[in-house]
């Protein structure tokens, strides 16, 4: 069902402050910033091998990422697994009794379709399913 780790999401207070470390110190390929209005975040993607680091900066105090930072500080926010067919993956998880935050896919960055599994069903780790766009 899962094909690879697509990305690891990291909550940051400021993309401008965080990007130079990943792009310049670690040498990751930076592919630009995108705003995902639905989740009230600005997202920067940095490539490392087949996977990415997704830096998440809240654009509002109401953003779930803002609440995460308030509670836990900046740091690892979620892990995202790539799936070939997100509807099939959601249906399987629901059939297996997993609790989903998203029972229907929603729009992620870069044309992806995403759905989050509730951390109560994944040992406290916020887990995203991600189907590549196009």
Interface residues toward Co ion, by CB under 5 A:
9, 54, 80, 128
Q: How far is the CB of 130 from Co ion (least distance, A)?
A: 7
**Residue with Cβ nearer Co ion (82 or 128):** 128
Asked whether the beta carbons of 82 and 5 are under 8 A apart, the reply is yes
Sign (positive/negative) of CA torsion 32, 37, 39, 40? positive
Q: At closest approach, how far in Å is the CB of 128 from Co ion?
A: 5
CB-CB contact of 70 with 61 (8 Å): no
Q: Which is nearer to Co ion, 79 or 98 (CB)?
A: 79
Please state, in angstroms and rounded to a whole number, the distance separating the CA atoms of residues 56 and 42: 6
d(CA 68, CA 50): 27
For the four alpha carbons of 93, 95, 99 and 103, in that order, the dihedral sign comes to positive
Position of minimal CB gap to Co ion: 9
At closest approach, how far in Å is the CB of 116 from Co ion? 9
Give 80 or 95: the residue with its C-beta nearer to Co ion.
80
Calpha distance 70→64 (Å, rounded): 10
Which residue lies nearer to Co ion by CB, 80 or 93?
A: 80
State the nearest-atom distance from the C-beta of 10 to Co ion, in Å: 10
């Amino acid at each position: 069902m899962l094909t690879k780790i697509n990305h690891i999401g990291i909550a940051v207070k400021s993309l401008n402050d965080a990007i130079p470390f990943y792009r310049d110190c670690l040498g990751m390929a930076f592919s630009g910033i995108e705003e995902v209005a639905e989740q009230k975040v600005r997202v920067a993607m940095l490539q490392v091998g087949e996977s990415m680091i997704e830096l998440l900066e809240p654009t509002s105090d109401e953003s779930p990422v803002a609440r995460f930072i308030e509670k836990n500080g900046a740091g690892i926010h979620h892990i995202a697994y790539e799936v070939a067919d997100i509807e099939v993956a959601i249906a399987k998880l629901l059939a297996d009794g997993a609790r989903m935050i998203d029972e229907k896919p929603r729009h992620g960055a870069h044309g992806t379709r995403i759905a989050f599994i509730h951390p109560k069903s994944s040992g406290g780790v916020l887990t995203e399913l991600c189907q590549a766009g196009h």
